[in-house]
Structure 1
Amino acid sequence: MPDTMTKEQRHYCMSRIRGKDTRPEMVVRRGLHSMGFRYSLHSRRLPGCPDLVLRRYHTAIFVNGCFWHGHPGCGKFRLPHSNVEFWAEKIRRNKERDAAETAALEALGWNVIVVWECELSPVDRRKTLERLASTLRRNVEPESIHPIPLSVRKLSLEE
Structure 2
Amino acid sequence: MPDAPLPAAVTAEPPAPAGLRIGHVHLKVADIERGLRFWRDAIGLEEQQRYGDQAVFLSAGGYHHHIALNTWESAGGDPPPRGTTGLYHVALLYPDRPSLARALKRLIAHGIALEGASDHGVSEALYLRDPDGNGVELYRDRDPTDWPRDATGRLTMGTRRLDLQALLAEA
Which TM bucket (shorter chain)? under 0.3
Structure with the greater relative contact order (CA < 8 A, sep ≥ 6): 1 or 2?
1
More strand by share: 2
- What is the TM-score of this pair, normalised by structure 1? 0.25
More helix by share: 1
